Amino acid sequence: MASKKTEGGKEQASGGFTLADVTKLVDSLEGTEVRSIVWTRAGEKVVIRRGPAPVNMLAPVAAPAPVAAPVAAPVSPPAAAPGAAKAAEKPAEKPGHVVTSPFVGTFYRAPSPDSLPFVDVGSIVKKGQVLCIVEAMKLMNEIEAEAEGKIAEIHVLNATPVEFGEKLFRIEPA
């Protein structure tokens, strides 16, 4: 199952990881309970997820990863994602990934009242980037993008209450 992909199709030559490093790492996970591991070295990052999903190798900041790992969204046939037919055909299901609130609280678009919002409509976000804060009882939860892409919609106004599971953002493939 362990297929390996490297950024831009090249085998790693410069900097952090060699193929042998990764192979060794994968081998060492064999027979363990470890399902995923993130390994960073010399500015490069290897993400390994085991099980049904293939092993992906992503470069950190540089170019967007060739195949954006589908994260939470139900996986439709791979062809569906970018540059397929126009999106507006089925208005019920807008494309992309919807970020929802993990609990009842107040939605904040910026880290403090004086700062700029974390993101705006049109912002390009990376996976793991902070989108907003939901606060409940002085517990601050920074909500992160679970997929990369473009912020297509912000469903809630700043500093207003949100319910559990309420839609906060829609992220479209950029």
| Contact residues for other proteins, defined by CB under 8 A | 100, 102-106, 108, 111-115, 135-142, 144, 146, 159-161, 164
Least distance between other proteins and beta carbon 75 (Å): 17
C-beta of 65 vs 134, nearer to other proteins:
134
Q: Is 118 left (phi over 0), alpha (psi -120 to 50) or beta?
A: alpha
Least distance between other proteins and beta carbon 141 (Å): 4
C-beta of 30 vs 114, nearer to other proteins:
114
Q: Is 139 left (phi over 0), alpha (psi -120 to 50) or beta?
A: beta
C-beta of 51 vs 113, nearer to other proteins:
113
Least distance between other proteins and beta carbon 124 (Å): 22
Least distance between other proteins and beta carbon 57 (Å): 21
C-beta of 3 vs 112, nearer to other proteins:
112
C-beta of 2 vs 140, nearer to other proteins:
140
**Mind spelling out the 3-state secondary structure of the chain?**
CCCCCCHHHCCCCCCCCCHHHHHHHHHHHCCCCCCEEEEEECCEEEEEECCCCCCEEECCCCCCCCCCCCCCCCCCCHHHCCCCCCHHHCCCCCCCEEEECCCCEEEECCCCCCCCCCCCCCCEECCCCEEEEEEECCEEEEEECCCCEEEEEECCCCCEEECCCCEEEEEECC
Least distance between other proteins and beta carbon 6 (Å): 25
